[in-house]
């Protein structure tokens, strides 16, 4: 499978928090060439590439995506739902999949109040899912609590950008794949663990679990961050096409971060910097405080329209993230670690 086909396939696949295993057969098929694969009992997955020494470096990308859940089936056969991590305004007229005994396609519709336009504001209470089935038929296929995910095919835009659902955080899994490809014939000093973590969108739960399983010396969290363009977060300076974003803040290990920046400069890999004085809202937050403390850094890929079905990312940003990781890992030696960890 060509690498962009892999990226498209994992973006179009469905893996809500708690059901990351729906994605793992695709990941395993593409990553098993790089090392031994393990899936833990609570849905973390990691690929272990053996190094020369016993010291460990862990790269983590969360596998789950934002989702909805079935809350009620009306007498008319419409599905009411609860949302998590999704702005109601972004899903009006969008296609979804209800994951019951079988997968059912549906569309999200707004209940319009023709007598009082003010009551037609977009909120979850005014949204329904239409499938075409009756209540009786739906009751035979789905139940309360079944997952609902956005359904969208990837499209290619200009300037090497693509749009799809679940780019948060499948872009980071693709970056890990690029890194693994770059290191395929490299004997790194450190053992490398490529991790797909579970339940990041509902509280970074998998990050802590797998950090205790692996007990790495260095942890690298990969995630997405907000673009600062005209429709983005104006408080940031991140831009699509300008490279991976390296985080600075108390959640981030200073010397390891500086070592990463030196690597980027040495190999002329473009990068950006983002300041986060508090909780980064990523797996990095939980990696850092696990197992007595892990030297942690965060690399983010800028995207637009986060947590919608039309997230946009620049392919070269993903590739440069993978290249930067590979060069950093290739050069990192066991003999450097003690000096790196001293403040």
The CATH number of the domain where 283 resides is what? 3.40.630.10
Half-sphere exposure of 55 (CA within 13 A, CB side): 16
Residues 219 and 330 in one domain: yes
pTM of the model: 0.96
Could you tell me the residue range of the domain that residue 36 belongs to? 3-65+165-341
Position with higher pLDDT, 90 vs 236: 90
Any domain includes 32: yes
Cβ-based neighbours of 199, under 8 Å, separated by 6 or more: 17, 18, 20, 43, 62, 64, 205, 206
End-to-end CA distance of the chain: 44
Over the stretch 250-306, which tens digit does the pLDDT of each residue have? Answer: 999 999 999 999 999 999 999 999 999 989 999 999 999 999 999 999 999 999 999
pLDDT at 226 over 60: yes
Q: Is 293 left (phi over 0), alpha (psi -120 to 50) or beta?
A: left
Residue finishing a domain among 118, 150, 182? 150
pLDDT at 118 over 70: no
Residues 247 and 325 in one domain: yes
The CATH number of the domain where 128 resides is what? 2.40.30.40
Counting the structural domains of the chain, the total is: 2
Cβ-based neighbours of 219, under 8 Å, separated by 6 or more: 57, 58, 60, 211, 284, 287, 288, 294, 295, 296, 297
Residues 101 and 214 in one domain: no
Any domain includes 301: yes
The pLDDT, as a whole number, for residue 237 is: 82
Residue finishing a domain among 100, 122, 150? 150
CA-CA distances (angstroms) from residue 122 to 126, 150, 303?
6, 18, 25
Q: What is the mean pLDDT of residues 8-18?
A: 98
Any domain includes 113: yes
Average pLDDT, the chain: 95
The pLDDT, as a whole number, for residue 229 is: 77
Q: What is the mean pLDDT of residues 237-244?
A: 94
Any domain includes 315: yes
Tell me the percentage of the chain whose pLDDT exceeds 90.
Answer: 89
The pLDDT, as a whole number, for residue 311 is: 97
Half-sphere exposure of 310 (CA within 13 A, CB side): 7
Over the stretch 315-337, which tens digit does the pLDDT of each residue have? Answer: 999 999 999 999 999 999 999 99
Residues 9 and 84 in one domain: no
pLDDT at 1 over 70: no
Residues 76 and 177 in one domain: no
Residues 105 and 207 in one domain: no
Residues 80 and 123 in one domain: yes
Assign 125 a pLDDT band (cuts: 50, 70, 90). confident
Residues 298 and 259 in one domain: yes
Residues 92 and 228 in one domain: no
155: number of Cβ within 10 Å:
12
Over the stretch 69-117, which tens digit does the pLDDT of each residue have? Answer: 999 999 999 999 998 889 999 999 999 999 999 999 999 999 876 666 6
The pLDDT, as a whole number, for residue 119 is: 60
């Amino acid at each position: 499978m060509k690498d962009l086909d892999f990226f498209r396939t994992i973006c179009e696949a469905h893996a809500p928090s708690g059901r990351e295993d729906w994605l793992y057969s695709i990941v395993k098929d593409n990553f098993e060439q790089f090392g031994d694969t393990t899936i833990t009992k609570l849905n973390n997955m990691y690929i272990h590439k053996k190094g020369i020494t016993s010291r460990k470096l862990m790269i983590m990308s969360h596998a789950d995506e934002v989702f909805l859940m079935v809350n009620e089936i009306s007498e008319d056969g419409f599905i009411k739902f609860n949302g998590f991590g999704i702005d109601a305004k972004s899903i009006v007229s969008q296609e979804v999949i209800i994951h019951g005994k079988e997968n059912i396609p549906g569309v999200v519709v707004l209940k319009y109040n023709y007598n009082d336009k003010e009551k037609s504001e977009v909120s979850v209470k005014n949204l329904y899912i239409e499938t075409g089935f009756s209540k009786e038929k739906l009751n035979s296929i789905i139940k309360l609590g079944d997952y609902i995910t956005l359904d969208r095919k990837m499209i290619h835009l200009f300037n090497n950008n693509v749009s799809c659902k679940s780019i948060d955080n499948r872009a980071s899994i693709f970056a890990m794949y690029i890194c693994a490809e770059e290191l395929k014939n490299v004997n790194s000093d450190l053992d490398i663990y490529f991790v797909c973590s579970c339940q990041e969108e509902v509280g970074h739960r998998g990050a802590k679990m797998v950090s205790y399983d692996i007990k790495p010396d260095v942890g690298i969290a990969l995630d997405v961050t907000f673009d600062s363009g005209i429709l983005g977060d104006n408080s940031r300076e991140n831009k699509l096409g300008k490279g991976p974003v390296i985080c600075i803040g108390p959640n981030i290990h200073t010397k390891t971060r500086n070592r990463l920046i030196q690597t980027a400069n040495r190999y002329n890999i473009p990068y950006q910097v983002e300041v986060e004085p508090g909780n980064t809202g990523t797996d990095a937050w939980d990696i850092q405080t696990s197992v007595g403390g892990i030297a942690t850094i965060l690399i983010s890929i800028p995207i637009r329209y986060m947590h919608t079905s039309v997230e946009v990312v620049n392919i070269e940003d993903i590739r440069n993230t993978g290249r930067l990781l590979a060069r950093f890992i290739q050069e990192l030696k066991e003999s450097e670690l003690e000096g790196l960890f001293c403040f």
